Amino acid sequence: MHPSLLSGTIVPLLTPFTAKEDFDPEAMAQLIDYVLREGADALMVTALTGEGPLLTLEETLAVWDFVFAKAENRIPVVPAIISTTTQRAVRLVRFAQQKGAPAVMAVPILPELYAGRSYDDVYAFYADIASSTSLPLILFNYPSLTGIDFVPPLIERLASIENVRYIKESTGDSRRVHAIQRLIGDRISVICGSPNVALESLALGCRAWITGTMNIVPRSARQLMRAVVKDLGLARRIYYRQILPFVDVMSRNFNPTGTIKAGVCARGIPVGAPRRPGSPVRPEDQRLLERLAREVDAWEEEVEQELL
């Protein structure tokens, strides 16, 4: 059985852009300072929330270089690799190891041209990466992005690869958590990857949580993880008041990255808009997010006293 090294709230950082859609390191510095001040346990870079699939190789490395330097070994930094080719993924995972990453999340995007998205292709992707690094690997189950669903039998097969230690389960189906744990819980740690089933997943034993809304409410996310093991009634209150209202906005406007960026802007950090063809949220949603952010500030202070 492998020890679980990653735990707590792992914030998948946004990638701030200027008006010209260039990486904005000044805004990234402000965002990192904010989430660290609010108690984040680790950072993830260039994941889906960070618009990783839209970045060039050079941009990806520039973001990594900046975040690792800014973190200054104060907090773990976990790179995310979302790639259509094994060659690019292997190159990036080697960079991640050189940077001193404790682990890396990797997933292949399998378009139709790849043998109908076969499990053999997925296995080969991870086997090739594992042969190029000693880093622990995090699987990422997000079928609408990758074109393949990491069902428990597939995860069991992938768990035979020595480096594969975690899976970020992002289907929004909490039944996946206990299905994986019952089948191969001694080999794979399940990371909650969805805001919609976070309370259930944490109650089922997930020790780590990664979701984009943590960019807006990192303190609330950390409070929820603490409350789940102390007071489920308090955990429900945190979840319903401080986290799900932001998720509701994303669900309604079908613009998750735009919503998260608008929420962070409401916190006073100018991270810009998503890279086109992504778009900002509508003015009414921006005003709603600003109001929610103000309300959460007061609730977080109240909850902090109850968690003492």
Whether residue 115 is predicted with pLDDT greater than 60 in this model: the reply is no
Residue 167 has phi, psi (to 5 degrees) of -140, 130
Quick one: pLDDT at residue 114? 54
Whether residue 116 is predicted with pLDDT greater than 80 in this model: the reply is no
Whether residue 193 is predicted with pLDDT greater than 70 in this model: the reply is yes
pTM of the model as a whole: 0.96
Quick one: pLDDT at residue 1? 34
Quick one: pLDDT at residue 170? 97
Quick: pLDDT tens for 257-298: 999 999 999 999 999 999 999 999 999 999 999 999 999 999
Mean pLDDT within 141-156: 94
Residue 107, sorted as left (phi over 0), alpha (psi -120 to 50) or beta, turns out to be beta
Quick one: pLDDT at residue 2? 42
Helix or strand or coil: residue 191?
strand
Confidence of residue 131 (pLDDT cuts 50, 70, 90): very high
Helix H or strand E segment including 140? strand 137-141
Quick: pLDDT tens for 31-63: 999 999 999 999 999 999 999 999 999 999 999
CA distance 265 to 221: 18
Q: Domains in the chain, ordered, with CATH? A: 8-216 (3.20.20.70)
CA distance 143 to 150: 8
Quick: pLDDT tens for 202-214: 999 999 999 999 9
Average pLDDT, the chain: 95
Helix or strand or coil: residue 150?
coil
Burial 82-101 (b: 16+ CB within 10 A, else e): bbeebeebbebbebbeebeb
Residue 173, sorted as left (phi over 0), alpha (psi -120 to 50) or beta, turns out to be beta
